[in-house]
């Protein structure tokens, strides 16, 4: 699964990808799938457990441009 979304940080075109995780050390929260969001414009990066919604890893380069939607 690979879809285009609006970057939650800068609002430009970003990509969301659902990854199957096989490595045991990646199963920290018991999820077999991880949702990855990446923005090539501002370097925003987020990895989240698909089942639990728990954020595993996140990088927000510039917080000052986060839109107020949602």
- What is the binding site for Zn ion (CB under 5 A)? 7, 9-10, 39, 41-42, 44
Between 31 and 44, name the residue whose CB sits nearer to Zn ion: 44
The C-alpha atoms of residue 33 and residue 28 are separated, in whole angstroms, by 11
**Alpha helices (runs of H) in the chain, residue ranges in sequence order:** none
Instruction: Tell me how far, at minimum, the Cβ of 58 lies from Zn ion, in Å.
Output: 13
Instruction: Tell me how far, at minimum, the Cβ of 53 lies from Zn ion, in Å.
Output: 21
Dihedrals phi, psi of 63, to nearest 5 degrees? -75, -15
Instruction: Tell me how far, at minimum, the Cβ of 2 lies from Zn ion, in Å.
Output: 17
């Amino acid at each position: 699964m690979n879809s285009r979304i609006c970057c939650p940080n800068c609002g430009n075109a970003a990509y969301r990808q659902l990854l199957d995780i096989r490595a045991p050390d990646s199963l920290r929260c018991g999820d077999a799938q991880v949702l990855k969001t990446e923005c090539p414009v501002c370097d925003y990066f987020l990895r989240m457990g698909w089942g639990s919604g728990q954020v595993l890893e996140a990088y927000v380069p510039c917080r000052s441009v986060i839109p107020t939607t949602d």
